[in-house]
Amino acid sequence: MTQLFDPGSSARAPKTSARRSAPPERPNESASRRGASSRKRAGSAASAVPASRPQAGRAPRPVAVAQEGPAQSWASLGVPAPIAGALISQGKATAFPIQADTLPDTLAGRDVLGRGRTGSGKTLAFAIPLVARLAAHSGSANTPRRPRGLVLAPTRELATQIDEVIAPLAAACGLRSTTIFGGVKQARQEHALARGAEIIVACPGRLEDLLGQRILTLKDICVTVIDEADLMADMGFLPGVTRILDATPRSGQRMLFSATLDNGVDRLVERFLDHPVRHSVDSAESPVDTMTHHVFEVGGSDDKAKLIEALASGTGRRILFYRTKHRAKRAAKHLTAAGIPAVDLQGDLSQNARERHLAAFESGEVRVLAATDVAARGVDVDGVALVVHVDPPVEHKEYLHRSGRTARAGNVGDVVTICLPEERRDLAAVLRRAKIRVTPQRVVANSPEVTELVGERAPRVAPAPVKATPQSRSRHEPRGGQQVGRDGRPGSGRSHHGRRGRA
């Protein structure tokens, strides 16, 4: 269903700024070029956008959109040939429903609210118009420190994966993109901005740091995308997002895509989006036909540990979700020691370690990822067969976002929640709010239900031997390991730390 979105009462007057049909040119471009491009844009926009926006005090006018039906080609949706070619080369020949639904409006320059469940194709739905609209006016593209496209994301994992979608489309049009987030040294980010990046995919905290240091400006931003705005609200990022949007030109196009639209997101919509068109392909709670839910009840901690190992032992990729960083890290080590190669993904890892672990999971070097919720919105890996809520989530949105790591893009997948007796009541409330109907099953590790779900078991892999780290020795310490003094007698000298040696 698609409709104009009014984030308040009907008495509130809508904003009155002009319709945005294309990104503004940079200030130093000639007036004749601006006039020619304006005439060109006016002609192309006339066939793609309704003739007028709603007037103040009037009910929103319905917007015609593509109905869900046969898959549509990129060309039929008006996607420029270089971008369509890049998509087809990736094996993406037709659009998903949320892409087909939103592209007529986003390519025409309208502000858009796109809502669809996790795995519905939201990233590509905003990546295509973002690149297309900047490429259409690329005479001053890749200007150092002056990006024209901005995507805001809540986590560095999500920012990285968004850029992986945008980068090949941008490259096909001669544009560059880069990521900006904390947890890494900013020198690389400064270098990318100084070289010239047309599009930046950023987390709010580091972006504000760089803006405060005057390393870049947002004065040329033509298109802004806010992804997973509800998670940014949950994480307390909305004040920073508000300051960043205030630093962008009011005339730019803005798009907001998210699985859910709540918890303060409506205030962003009211303040920064101009007569936005709302596209809702599926709500976050809509059932996914290719996803099967299971609740496995166990009698105690020992039974739970054995069940986790059994569920992790299959041949396909699986993600195990834990509530704490320590538990995720310990689980990865335990499974690896048991012959099931696993890596962890949690907040204490350095960025290099996160990238190594994700690369190992994506390549199939390891089949199991033990993760905290930092990964729930940032992991987009094809072929995840099973998601396991080892620690049941405390909120229904958390359940949905975790579960959305499987059964993506039409693939099938299973979701298991492991439940101890004392967790039964809280889990039932979470599932009820998530609109998930499932009958709990009492199991042990070798129950038929578990065996059938796991399927073929992968051969156990002997863990790699741990290499001993050589200890540094004082220049007065012999290879035998006994500390000696300067006069050669045991225990009479000082160690290399300046303390008295010990035999």
Asked whether 72 and 121 are in contact (CB, 8 A), the reply is no
d(C-alpha 50, C-alpha 4), whole Å: 12
Residue 285 lies in a domain: no
The DSSP call for residue 339 is T
Residue 323 lies in a domain: yes
What pLDDT score does 46 carry? 34
310 pLDDT higher than 80: yes
Q: How confident is the model at residue 151 (pLDDT cuts 50, 70, 90)?
A: very high
Give the chain's domain count. Answer: 3
- Which is it for strands 177-180 and 112-115: parallel, antiparallel or unpaired? unpaired
Domain of residue 440: give its range.
291-454
The answer to whether 177 and 167 have CB atoms below 8 angstroms apart is yes
Q: What is the pLDDT of residues 212-223, one digit of tens each?
A: 999 999 999 999
- Give me the mean pLDDT over the 153-178 stretch: 95
| pLDDT on residue 375 | 65
pLDDT digits (tens, 9 = 90+) for 216-269: 999 999 999 999 888 888 889 999 999 999 999 999 999 998 766 677 888 899
Domain end (from 252, 280, 308): 280
Burial of 42 (0-12, 13-18, 19+ CB in 10 A): exposed
How many residues belong to the chain? 503
Residue 225 lies in a domain: yes
Q: Look at residue 68 and tell me if it is in a domain.
A: yes
Q: What is the pLDDT of residue 175?
A: 97
pLDDT in tens, 8-56: 333 333 333 333 444 444 444 433 333 443 333 333 333 333 333 333 3
For residues 329 and 344, the answer to whether their CB atoms sit within 8 Å is yes
Q: Are 226 and 372 members of one domain?
A: no
> Which tokens is 293 given?
């839910």
Is the same domain home to 141 and 237? yes
In this structure, are 351 and 204 located in the same domain? Answer: no
Lowest mean pLDDT among 33-42, 271-280, 385-394: 33-42
Quick one: which of 119, 58, 110, 91 has its CA closest to 400?
119
Tell me how far CA of residue 410 lies from CA of 120, 143, 382, 406, 413, in angstroms: 9, 40, 11, 10, 9
| Burial environment of residue 130 by CB neighbours within 10 A (0 to 12, 13 to 18, 19 or more) | buried
Residues 4, 6, 12, 18, Cα dihedral to 10°: -40
pLDDT tens digits along 106-118? 999 999 988 766 6
Cβ proximity of 222 and 253 under 8 Å:
yes
Instruction: Assess whether 361 and 479 both reside in one domain.
Output: no
For residue 330, list its beta bridge partners: none
Residue 275 shares a structural domain with residue 189: yes
Three-state SS letters, 347-408: CCCCHHHHHHHHHHHHHCCCCEEEECHHHCCCCCCCCEEEEEECCCCCCHHHHHHHHCCCCC
Identity of the residue numbered 249: P
* 263 and 302 inside one domain: no
User: Which of 255, 280, 305 marks a domain boundary?
Assistant: 280
460 domain-assigned: no
Whether residue 160 is found in the same domain as residue 99:
yes
- Report if residue 465 sits inside a domain: no
Is pLDDT of 438 > 70?
yes
Using CB atoms within 10 Å of the CB of residue 456, give its burial: 0 to 12 exposed, 13 to 18 middle, 19+ buried.
exposed
241 lies in a domain? Answer: yes
- How far apart (Å, rounded) are the C-alpha atoms in residues 158 and 376? 9
pLDDT tops 80 at residue 58: no
pLDDT at position 377 is 67
Axis crossing angle, helix 156-172 with helix 81-89, rounded to the nearest 10: 120
**Same structural domain, 232 and 334:** no
Same domain as 211, residue 321: no
Q: Is 50 part of a structural domain of the chain?
A: no
Picking from 428, 454, 480, the residue at the C-terminal end of a domain is 454
Question: Model-level pTM greater than 0.85?
Answer: no
Pair (377, 336) in one structural domain: yes
> At a CB cut-off of 8 Å and minimum separation 6, what does 285 contact?
396, 400, 434, 435
Please check whether residues 265 and 296 belong to one and the same domain.
no
Phi, psi of 150 (to 5 degrees): -135, 130
Q: Which span out of 54-58, 139-143, 289-293, 417-421 was modeled with the highest average pLDDT?
A: 417-421
CATH number at residue 394: 3.40.50.300
The answer on 495 and 432 residing in a single domain is no
